[in-house]
Chain A
Amino acid sequence: GNSVTQMEGPVTLSEEAFLTINCTYTATGYPSLFWYVQYPGEGLQLLLKATKADDKGSNKGFEATYRKETTSFHLEKGSVQVSDSAVYFCALPEEDTGRRALTFGSGTRLQVQP
């Protein structure tokens, strides 16, 4: 079935540094891909999505490009802020289970220092 692998954290950066969080996936076909963000003590919020190959999702300065050649959906931001400190999850739909649920990566914790 579909699966996703994220880089392990924590990732610690200084404010205004460039961020990359790697995500690679295994899937049949070209499913939608998602990045969710979880701030401390809160639920998950959809950060961005891409619904077909070569699409670029973007939101709040974050970007991710759906690259079918490398089966990747890396999350990037040019200049992080302290307020970006959170856990980031890459996700994609389960394959043909009929559950319409998502498969999540294990999450990558980002810590941004002033």
Chain B
Amino acid sequence: DGGITQSPKYLFRKEGQNVTLSCEQNLNHDAMYWYRQDPGQGLRLIYYSQIVNDFQKGDIAEGYSVSREKKESFPLTVTSAQKNPTAFYLCASSPSGSSYNEQFFGPGTRLTVL
């Protein structure tokens, strides 16, 4: 079955640590996205990538970094510069040929700062 996987499901970070969230897709989609979700709020775009080896900042990129070395993978690193990282992180992908902008989401990673 095609889909998007994220790992781990739960992640705990100590102050000053960098942590990396994994996102893998086997849908053969060109575009991938990272969103942050806070309680009772909608989704905010952190980073996006339209094609391998290229990525762009979204609306709240400060304190985060990404890489896109493979089409299937788009890991997100939450650095110590992110002052309030506790949130639910969602990875999504989208076929570039679609004119409808439909996005497919992974199950999410819940990050908690201890």
Contacts and interface: CB of A to CB of B under 8 A. Distances in A.
A36 B102 CA distance: 10
A43 B102 contact: no
Interface stretch (A19-27, A59-67, A75-83, A99-107): A99-107
Interface residues on A, range: 20 to 34
B42 A107 contact: yes
A101 B45 contact: yes
Q: Is the interface of A mostly helix, strand, loop or mixed?
A: loop
A102 B99 CA distance: 13
Contacts of A102: 43, 101, 103
A42 B107 contact: yes
A34 B105 contact: no
A54 B107 CA distance: 32
B101 A32 contact: yes
B42 A99 contact: no
A101 B35 CA distance: 10
Contact of B106 (A36, A43, A46): A43
Contacts of B99: 32
B76 interface: no
Given A100-B94, A101-B58, A46 B104 contact: yes
Contacts of B108: 41-43
Nearest to A104: B42
A31 B105 CA distance: 20
